[in-house]
Amino acid sequence: MQASPYEQPWAKPELKDCVFYHAMSLPGAGALAGQWDIRPDFDNYTGRLDVRGKRLLDVGTCTGQIAFEMEARGAEVTAFDADSVARFQWVPFAGRLEHRDRAAWNARNEAGLTGYKNAFWFAWHERRSAVRVAYGDLARLSQTLPEQDIVLACAIIEHLSDPVTAIGQMARLARETLVIGFTPIDPAEAPLMRPMQPWHPDHPYVWWRLSLGLYRSLLGQLGFEVTVIEAMALFHGEPARRQTLVARRIRPA
């Protein structure tokens, strides 16, 4: 019998052991600050979707604000994230620990990922959520989880060394709609990728900005039609603006 891809629910962590990426308000804990607050423009951030009755996958869920809000709006939600920091790829720079000794870097930083996961499970218990969770390898996403009506991947593309393969994995699971949310898009019609910003050792976790032409070409050959929405979120209280790409399936996979 094949093992279930879904995580057994964790016991509720202590609040002191949680790190919140998303700001949220919880029934027992009240208002909790996060690096990002995506609530003010949530509809544009996530593609203006009607999710009621839909099976929805939130890829890169982190602390879960998207997953929990979509559940509240009537979706049957699965939240996916990396099972380990060993999955993350970094721009290589001589002298940085993740380049010199990746095993040592992994050991030093695994607790940081656990802090985000603790925050997810703390919120999961606070909300009495039924969101299912899967931890694994994004490169094997379509071999891990079943088809979904909607796949959401918000603010993660720039952190992937191979975004094209990742988009292909997500597209294979999206029966109706794939949303690449709150992600900077190069307006060029030519199919290309450029560094998101000048690569710098202080920010080795930021890779590529894909062009609109590349998204159209890639997703077009996978059976989708693309539109783009402007979106806003608050980063440490300051507004930041990016694009949300909505790809709707027009041909079978």
| Side chain identity at residue 134, one-letter code | A
Residues 6+ apart with CB under 8 A from 57: 77, 78, 79, 80, 145, 148, 150, 151, 152, 170, 173
Percent of the chain scoring above 90 in pLDDT: 98
Whether 33 is covered by a domain: the verdict is yes
Whether 2 is covered by a domain: the verdict is no
pTM of the model as a whole: 0.95
Which long-range contacts (C-beta less than 8 Å, at least 24 apart) are formed by 27-34?
27/126, 27/127, 28/126, 29/122, 29/126, 34/63, 34/65
Per-residue pLDDT, averaged over 241-248, amounts to: 98
| Side chain identity at residue 7, one-letter code | E
Whether 9 is covered by a domain: the verdict is no
Q: State the residue range of the domain holding 111.
A: 15-249
Q: Does 69 score more than 80 pLDDT?
A: yes
Whole-angstrom Cα distance, residue 141 to residue 146? 9
Whether 126 is covered by a domain: the verdict is yes
Q: Torsion angle, CA of 72/230/33/108, rounded to 10 degrees? A: 100
Mean pLDDT of the chain: 96
CA angle (105, 110, 116) in 5-degree steps: 135
Per-residue pLDDT, averaged over 151-173, amounts to: 97
**CATH code: domain of residue 218:** 3.40.50.150
Per-residue pLDDT, averaged over 129-145, amounts to: 97
Domains contained in the chain, number: 1
Per-residue pLDDT, averaged over 200-219, amounts to: 96
Q: Can you give the pLDDT at residue 2?
A: 65
